[in-house]
Amino acid sequence: MAQEDKLPLSQRIVFEDNHVLVVNKTSSELVQGDKTGDPSILDELKKLIKERDQKPGNVFLGLVHRLDRPTSGLVIVAKTSKALSRLTGAFRDRLVSKDYLVITEKGPEGPDLSLEPKGLMEDLLGRNEKTNTSKVVAAGGQEARLEYELIQTLDSYLVWQVRLDTGRHHQIRVQFASRGFPVRGDLKYGARRSIPGGGIGLHAWRLDFPHPTRGERRVVLTADPTKSQSDPLWKQVECPGP
């Protein structure tokens, strides 16, 4: 998403209370600072809160989980140390439900290469730290599992709803690409062309997580991809109900 087209961060906050903040990240933003030196969501949120709430000292924000830079969608940030500890534990214990919308190329035809419209992908993934990539391996990798369903067919692309059961490095990108369905714009994993403005066709659309301080209450949120993706194709995507 081009800088001039990006909605202000304050307009992409989808949930906030005293303990938790959830933001709709664009497909160009860093979640956390890295060697590029580019501004990160975490730093920008600290600035926003300090100015908005007139905080005299440092603002505490803890990152609960991450999204790859070219991926857009929901990111949870903890506003207290108690919330950070409990939310991190909820992710570790797989108490958080994470649903993505994925636009992929249509992929090859044929009985050996086709993908059922609904099912489960289970693989072992190995990571190459030098190239910052992952791939499906026969042995020795980490278990990677996701549920998927085809929800829409576009002229040259397919739209899938995906629920992650595990959270491995580049998991959705690798598992779909390994079956001949690279994510739109994802040149690293075999897409034919990039997307104008950058990003890839991957959006963290829905989160369902236990509130860290309110007992049994769960927070269920969705994020509009057209507010965080520059790719005009997202305007054709019919998002499922929450």
CA-CA distance, 200 to 21, in Å (whole number)?
A: 24
> What pLDDT does 85 receive?
97
3-state helix, strand, coil in the chain (%, to 5): 20, 35, 45
3-class secondary structure per residue, 168-212? CCCHHHHHHHCCCCCECCCHHHCCCCCCCCCCCCEEEEEEEEECC
Instruction: Give pLDDT, residue 35.
Output: 76
Residue 171: predicted pLDDT = 98
Name all domains of the chain by residue range, CATH numbers in brackets: 3-224 (3.30.2350.10)
What are the pLDDT tens digits along the chain (242 aa)? 444 457 899 999 999 999 999 999 999 899 987 777 788 999 999 999 999 999 988 999 999 999 999 999 999 999 999 999 999 999 999 999 999 999 999 977 665 567 899 999 999 999 999 999 999 999 999 999 999 999 999 999 999 999 999 999 999 999 999 999 999 999 999 999 999 878 999 999 999 999 999 977 899 999 999 999 999 999 999 998 76
State the pLDDT at residue 51: 96
Predicted TM-score of the model (pTM): 0.94
Beta bridge partners of 30: 40
The pLDDT of residue 36 is 77
| C-alpha distance from residue 9 to each of 6, 22, 138, 230 (Å) | 8, 11, 42, 15
Tokens of 146: 């996701």
